[in-house]
Structure 1
Amino acid sequence: MTEYIPYAGPSVSELEVAYVAEAARDAWYRGAYTFTRRFEQSFADYVGVRHAIAVPHCTSALHLALLALGIKEGDEVIVPECSWIASAAIITYVGAQPVFADIDPTTWCISPESIERLVTPKTRAVIPVGLYGLPADMPAIRKIAEKFKIHVIEDAAQSLGGKHSGKMSGSAADVAAFSFGGTKTLTTGEGGMFVTDDEAIFERAQFLRDHGRSRANYKNFLNTEVAYKYRMSDLQAAFGLAQLERIDELLAKKRRIFEWYRMRLGDVPGLALNAEPPEFVNSYWMTTVVLDPSIGLTTADVRSRFEEYGLDVRPFFHPMSSLPAFAGYPKVEEAQKGNSVAYSISPRAFNLPSALELSEAQVDRVCDLLKTFLKTAGRSSKLPSPSAIPDWPMTARAKVRSVG
């Protein structure tokens, strides 16, 4: 088999193993939720907020955010075109309508100008997304939110460790949500975190995530509303706590991987990599490439060619207004016509392998292969021979699988 190089994957040390073993042994009876509480407090301290709630996934954190803020049927919530569907799906969970905003051509995050154009009397919130490691322009978004008196819910699923104007991603919104899925820099296998500085929002979210019972009536099993079961287990929290204690190491690995790519691809004509504007820190969750239209290669072209060599390359997010899941929703056709940046970038962009255990030699292979594709683009649709790639194993087609 050709050496398989995944697009994402974790870094696991003996610390995670030890903490999970301790939780398996001791986190029961009076020790129940010990690791969950430690993880929540440590995470809040790291992000720089007062409160954190560990939940099963980022989707549940976003859902809780909308519920706690009172978003309901008839309301509109603005989201960026390019993100994972969870950023918009949760809006429909509460009966509200997603309104898709265009993205910035350099950062690929939601465009503040697009947000301002889309605000109506029905707009109750905006959900900026930190894409592939770079936080959205939160200072600009906060100004718009204050002008129109709407809530800001930061989807920081991909941008843990990123910063904007000196503030940690997740610290400048009314509520923020993080993901600890298997592909993320900090993982618990599955999991997420709800964070806020607002005491009332925190108490409401705590109540809603535990089937509608308050912390004061926890042992009375007195449910005063029909709510949800959004809890994280101590075993997951133990793993997450160990990951959080290693967060500087994990983020340094991500930055090093990006630097390896930048050194090899940064001066290649017609190719753009993740941006890091002044006053921002990119956590580089996924090294991402956008090809110039003149090259003549699409995301699908590049992925199919990489797969012949066992490289797992991930597509850039599709514009959400193009997804069959949102066909027929209000304002979808308007988004399809108006969000030209998202519709231009998405078909010619992709994520390169960015797993935490990636080696520099593997990055060499990825870059050599990509450069070969770019050289042959427009001249022939035939795949270059594996012998054209230095040190690439001459074997049959690899079976490509996903991580996380």
Structure 2
Amino acid sequence: MNKKIFVCEPYLNGNETKYVMDAVSTGWISSSGAYVTKFEEAFSGYCGVKHGIAVCNGTVALHLALAALGIGKGDEVIIPSFTMIATAFAVCYVGAMPVFVDADKDTWNIDVNKIEEKITPRTKAIIPVHVFGNPCDMDAITEIAKKHNLFIVEDAAEAHGATYKGRKVGSFSEVACFSFFANKNVTTGEGGMCVTDDDNYAKLCRYYKNVCFNPDGPRDYLHNDIGFNYRMSNIHAAIGLAQTEKADEYKKMRMNNHALYKKYLEGVDGVVFQKDEKDSENVGWMNTIVLDTDKYGRTRDELIVQLKENGVDTRLLFKSMSIQPALKKYGCDCSGKYPVTDWLSENGFYLPSASNLPEEDIKGICDIIKDFAR
């Protein structure tokens, strides 16, 4: 190919400049500006829940959610072994212990059939991650959580607008968490949000994110609890509001990209796509394939080199939580076997996935993959 195609670029095609310039020209650039509230209301409404609490990134959103739920030292939280390490780090931040569950071979989400075997008297919550925009089996997870009296904290960082049985992700848990990093379907550059239907959890999230200033009284600089400075700026929120206004449009673009990759790679032996969760709408945040080397005839790494030589940027997938040195040092039980996670990590990678990626580029990328097959 004659040009560089990056793995993902932000698509800013709405009122971003208008809203940011308004924030700058009026001097409201900190976390006190009106765009923060407007963004919180717009995005939580988009998810179908009452409250949104804007924060500075998706990782701290997870930390804030766990803190608001009272999870701490001595507690255990079940997470997928196949996830971005931020999911595990957030559990560590509150002093709790991450406990890993392998991925499902088809959907690549947490294997719901293996969750209960990891539950102990210390388990307090499950964090399902909607991997690559594919909603988890929330009926099964909700049933398990109710049976064992556990909280659910959705990690929806990759799944803006995805639906499960007609409901948006983010509406199935006590608190759900989103990221607005530059590669997300809805972006603020850097940013995140907790969303919840629970008035008390929303109040606690707002309390802790603002260094535990008294939310109901004057700012007297007396702090009763250890808090965090996790506020989002008005400038970032201005971008987020503009993005939320066009969230469904961007979602459709990502889903169309996903469909095009499947169309142009149909029938290529050894190219494996993620399967959609039943009764769900996968928003195709990242277009990911796994190579069956025996059928494709080349290794994942050989194909990545070939794509790079043709100007196509790619990214490797997450490494298993069970092999992370930081988590071993922290004291996590990393002795288990996670074969599906290992298979994904060793054989999978991202293809370019920007919302506005032209069809001709997708076709060109797929042609390289087809032509390189042995």
- Give TM-score, length-normalised by structure 2: 0.95
Task: Provide closer, same or farther for how the CA distance between residues 341 and 37 of structure 1 changes in structure 2, counting only shifts above 3 A.
Answer: same
Give the aligned partner of residue 96 of structure 2: 96
Q: Does 1:83 align with 2:80?
A: no
**Cα distance, 1:272 vs structure 2:** 1.8
Give the aligned partner of residue 349 of structure 1: 348
Letter of the 1:223 counterpart: H
Give the aligned partner of residue 155 of structure 2: 155
**Cα distance, 1:346 vs structure 2:** 1.9
Instruction: Report if the CA contact (8 A) 2:304-2:314 is conserved.
Output: yes
Instruction: Report if the CA contact (8 A) 1:298-1:349 is conserved.
Output: no
Q: What secondary structure, in the 3-state scheme, does the structure 2 residue paired with 1:5 have?
A: coil
Distance 2:230 2:332 in 1: 31
Q: Does 1:174 align with 2:136?
A: no
Instruction: Report if the CA contact (8 A) 2:135-2:277 is conserved.
Output: no
**Cα distance, 1:78 vs structure 2:** 0.8
Distance 1:50 1:103 in 2: 31
Instruction: Report if the CA contact (8 A) 2:136-2:277 is conserved.
Output: no
**Cα distance, 1:157 vs structure 2:** 0.1
**Cα distance, 1:125 vs structure 2:** 0.8
Give the aligned partner of residue 213 of structure 2: 213
Give the aligned partner of residue 301 of structure 2: 300
Q: What secondary structure, in the 3-state scheme, does the structure 2 residue paired with 1:312 have?
A: coil
Distance 1:340 1:10 in 2: 34
Distance 2:144 2:14 in 1: 46
Letter of the 1:36 counterpart: V
Give the aligned partner of residue 269 of structure 2: 269
Q: What secondary structure, in the 3-state scheme, does the structure 2 residue paired with 1:214 have?
A: coil
Instruction: Report if the CA contact (8 A) 2:14-2:243 is conserved.
Output: no
Give the aligned partner of residue 136 of structure 2: 136
Distance 1:251 1:349 in 2: 23
Structure 1 gap ranges (5+)? 376-404
Give the aligned partner of residue 394 of structure 1: none
**Cα distance, 1:305 vs structure 2:** 2.5
**Cα distance, 1:269 vs structure 2:** 2.1
Q: Does 1:186 align with 2:203?
A: no
Give the aligned partner of residue 395 of structure 1: none
Give the aligned partner of residue 12 of structure 2: 12
Letter of the 1:307 counterpart: K
Residues 326-345 of structure 1: pairs in structure 2 closer than 5 A: 326-330=327-331, 332-335=333-336, 338-345=337-344
Instruction: Report if the CA contact (8 A) 1:131-1:158 is conserved.
Output: yes
Q: What secondary structure, in the 3-state scheme, does the structure 1 residue paired with 2:335 have?
A: helix
Q: Does 1:359 align with 2:358?
A: yes
Distance 1:304 1:356 in 2: 24
Q: What secondary structure, in the 3-state scheme, does the structure 1 residue paired with 2:131 have?
A: coil
Task: Provide closer, same or farther for how the CA distance between residues 120 and 15 of structure 1 changes in structure 2, counting only shifts above 3 A.
Answer: same
Deviates more, 1:31-40 or 1:190-199: 31-40
Distance 2:331 2:115 in 1: 17
Distance 2:30 2:108 in 1: 47
Q: What secondary structure, in the 3-state scheme, does the structure 1 residue paired with 2:133 have?
A: coil
Letter of the 1:274 counterpart: Q
Instruction: Report if the CA contact (8 A) 1:85-1:320 is conserved.
Output: yes
**Cα distance, 1:75 vs structure 2:** 1.0
Task: Provide closer, same or farther for how the CA distance between residues 146 and 264 of structure 1 changes in structure 2, counting only shifts above 3 A.
Answer: same
Task: Provide closer, same or farther for how the CA distance between residues 30 and 358 of structure 1 changes in structure 2, counting only shifts above 3 A.
Answer: closer
Distance 2:355 2:276 in 1: 20
**Cα distance, 1:293 vs structure 2:** 4.4
Task: Provide closer, same or farther for how the CA distance between residues 31 and 179 of structure 1 changes in structure 2, counting only shifts above 3 A.
Answer: closer
Task: Provide closer, same or farther for how the CA distance between residues 144 and 307 of structure 1 changes in structure 2, counting only shifts above 3 A.
Answer: same
**Cα distance, 1:28 vs structure 2:** 2.9
Distance 1:253 1:135 in 2: 18
**Identical columns (%):** 38
Q: What secondary structure, in the 3-state scheme, does the structure 1 residue paired with 2:211 have?
A: coil
Distance 2:218 2:152 in 1: 30
Deviates more, 1:169-178 or 1:218-227: 218-227
Deviations 1:204-232 (A, max 9, x none): 11111111112212533332222111110
Give the aligned partner of residue 386 of structure 1: none
Give the aligned partner of residue 126 of structure 2: 126
Instruction: Report if the CA contact (8 A) 1:266-1:272 is conserved.
Output: no
**Cα distance, 1:292 vs structure 2:** 2.0
Letter of the 1:238 counterpart: A
Letter of the 1:55 counterpart: V
Distance 1:167 1:302 in 2: 38
**Cα distance, 1:165 vs structure 2:** 1.4
Q: What secondary structure, in the 3-state scheme, does the structure 2 residue paired with 1:220 have?
A: coil
Task: Provide closer, same or farther for how the CA distance between residues 310 and 76 of structure 1 changes in structure 2, counting only shifts above 3 A.
Answer: same
Task: Give the aligned length.
Answer: 373
Letter of the 1:310 counterpart: G
Q: What secondary structure, in the 3-state scheme, does the structure 2 residue paired with 1:334 have?
A: coil
**Cα distance, 1:56 vs structure 2:** 0.1
Q: What secondary structure, in the 3-state scheme, does the structure 1 residue paired with 2:278 have?
A: coil
Distance 2:130 2:359 in 1: 26
Instruction: Report if the CA contact (8 A) 1:212-1:223 is conserved.
Output: yes
Structure 2 gap ranges (5+)? none
Distance 2:194 2:217 in 1: 22
Deviations 1:320-367 (A, max 9, x none): 1122222345453323xx222111222111111101221111111110
Q: What secondary structure, in the 3-state scheme, does the structure 2 residue paired with 1:216 have?
A: coil
Q: What secondary structure, in the 3-state scheme, does the structure 2 residue paired with 1:333 have?
A: coil
Task: Provide closer, same or farther for how the CA distance between residues 347 and 296 of structure 1 changes in structure 2, counting only shifts above 3 A.
Answer: farther
Give RMSD over aligned pairs.
1.9
Letter of the 1:287 counterpart: N
Distance 2:220 2:95 in 1: 31
Deviations 1:121-165 (A, max 9, x none): 111111110111111111110100111111111000001111111
Q: What secondary structure, in the 3-state scheme, does the structure 1 residue paired with 2:132 have?
A: coil
Q: What secondary structure, in the 3-state scheme, does the structure 2 residue paired with 1:219 have?
A: coil
